[in-house]
Amino acid sequence: MPDIGDICRASDLGMVGGRKYRWTQCPDCHLQRWAVIRTLDRSPYRQCQDCVRAKAKRVFKIGRAHTIDPP
Please name which of 58, 8, 66, 62 lies closest in space to residue 36, comparing C-alpha atoms: 8
- Tens of pLDDT, residue by residue over 6-52, are 999 999 999 998 899 999 898 889 999 998 888 777 665 688 888 88
For residues 7 and 19, is the Cβ–Cβ distance under 8 A? no
Segment (H or E) for 21: strand 20-25
Q: What pTM, to 2 d.p., does this model score?
A: 0.69
Residue 68 has pLDDT above 60, yes or no: no
Find out whether 29 and 48 touch, Cβ atoms under 8 Å: yes
Query: According to the model, what pLDDT value does residue 66 have?
Result: 55
